[in-house]
Amino acid sequence: MSVLLTGLFLTGLFAGEPQHPFPRHTDYREGAILPSNRTREQLDQAVFEYYQKWKATYLHQVPNVEPAEKFVHWNVSQSPWVDPPNAVTVSEAHGYGMLALAIMAGADDEAQKDFDAMYRFYKAHPSVFNEGLMAWQQLEVQDEDGNVRIVDVEDNDSATDGDMDIAYALIMADNQWGSDGAVNYREEGIKCIRAIFEEAVNKEDWILLMGDWVANKKEEVPQYYTATRPSDFLLGHLRLFAAVDKQNSEGWQKVYDKIIDIIDYNLEEWSHKTGLLPDFLVKNDAGHFVPAEGTLLETENDGDYNWNACRVPWRIGTEYLSGDQPVLKSQLSRINDWIVETTGGVPLNINPGYYIRNGEKEGAPIIRDWEGTDMGFIAPFAVSACMDDKYQEWLNALWEAITAESWSKGLPFEEITYYPNTIRLLSMIVVSGNWWIPR
């Protein structure tokens, strides 16, 4: 291990005494693998160095606010496709940031201070429907005196995945630092978990809704009440929620079991070849959840493997590495076998999206108006590849691409790409063997 990294670990331990300091070196399920073309120390070093770059670019402080509030800035380069152009963050980004800080404690001696600043931002921007949840998007505005403020969008309701990550990160913080300080992390985490259960669970079908707005606007948009988003299938989170939210344990288990049933059905009926799940699933007349047809919420590819579902191999893969689900083994094996074959084992051949439902043959690449690939689609496949040594060569190639510094070998860090860069960071944490489950 490098002198730099060792020194930072010692600094973190001395300053905050985290109970699970990075590197955590979790024992995943039997048969799981890590990249074999790097030593364990090299994997840790790569994660830490990338985290430093990520944090320096995206973690921003709200001006003129005390005590400090911080957020993950997803529009640092003022990208022309962002609407509205003054958008600065979303709850999804906030959850990712809180997870990263809780995990990197020990290597980062500022982690707890920054985590608390992110907690304060979360509390300062509640959903209009439930203060335990976070408003889904924030904007930067100036008042009459030219002072910068961060405000919520007008429809300041919630997005389920962001809240789930925030809740998980708060329980992780309790395990990391304890809850006897300025923030009772465990109490706040359980409040958030219960708010999600109250507002974002369809208790007829036991599916996760896309946000608290779905149930609260059911009369206006009833089609969304029987729809769900596979990128929200955070099965490890649900197991934790069932364990710590005692009053809703049975309900959380029903949600978990329903997701397993949905995955199993789609493997049999829709994803024969690829194992992929789409951006959105909807309930059909027979009561099954199937890929959306046409535009449900975002694009004509809502029923395909697109910008939401690209996270599924990471999220589902993490649960398989941590637990014991035969259905997930079948799903991930199918995903891995197919993606290796379709790319020829070359990560840069991964297409940014594949058809499932949208009138095309399953597994055909979605046609874009630009060429190339995207790290948001590449990195999650590294997590799914960790399941078995059958995929060792593929995993090694993916790690090379994820950590490459030259464009010929991968997609180096660029500040404009918050989404793929952040998915890359969290995937690297898992692939390096440093993801852990709090209690």
> Which is catalytic among the residues 108, 109, 140, 161?
161
Q: Are 336 and 382 in contact (CB under 8 A)?
A: no
Question: pLDDT value at position 192?
Answer: 98
Q: What CA dihedral angle connects 379, 380, 383 and 384, to 10 degrees?
A: -130
Residue 161 annotated as catalytic: yes
Question: pLDDT value at position 11?
Answer: 34
Q: Where would I find the H helices in 245-325? A: 249-269, 312-322
Question: pLDDT value at position 4?
Answer: 35
The model carries a pTM of 0.95
Collapsing DSSP to helix, strand or coil, 291 comes out as strand
> Which is catalytic among the residues 69, 92, 302, 304?
92
Question: pLDDT value at position 2?
Answer: 36
User: Looking at the domain that runs over 3-431, which CATH code has it been given?
Assistant: 1.50.10.10
Q: How far apart are CA 240 and CA 233, in angstroms?
A: 13
Q: Are 196 and 160 in contact (CB under 8 A)?
A: yes
Q: Which residue ranges make up each domain of the chain? A: 3-431
Which residues, at least 6 apart from 46, have a Cβ–Cβ distance to it below 8 Å?
A: 38, 403, 428, 432
The DSSP letter of residue 366 is P
Q: How far apart are CA 47 and CA 311, in angstroms?
A: 19
Q: Could you tell me the two tokens for 192?
A: 């958030």
Q: How far apart are CA 59 and CA 72, in angstroms?
A: 5
Q: Could you tell me the two tokens for 307?
A: 């910008």
Residue 204 annotated as catalytic: no
Query: Mean pLDDT by 10-residue block, N- to C-terminus, for the chain (439 residues)?
Result: 36 60 96 98 98 98 96 89 90 98 98 98 98 97 87 95 98 97 97 98 98 96 97 98 98 98 97 97 98 96 98 98 93 98 98 90 93 96 98 98 94 89 98 97
Picking from 63, 65, 125, the residue whose alpha carbon sits closest to that of residue 93 is: 125
Question: pLDDT value at position 7?
Answer: 36
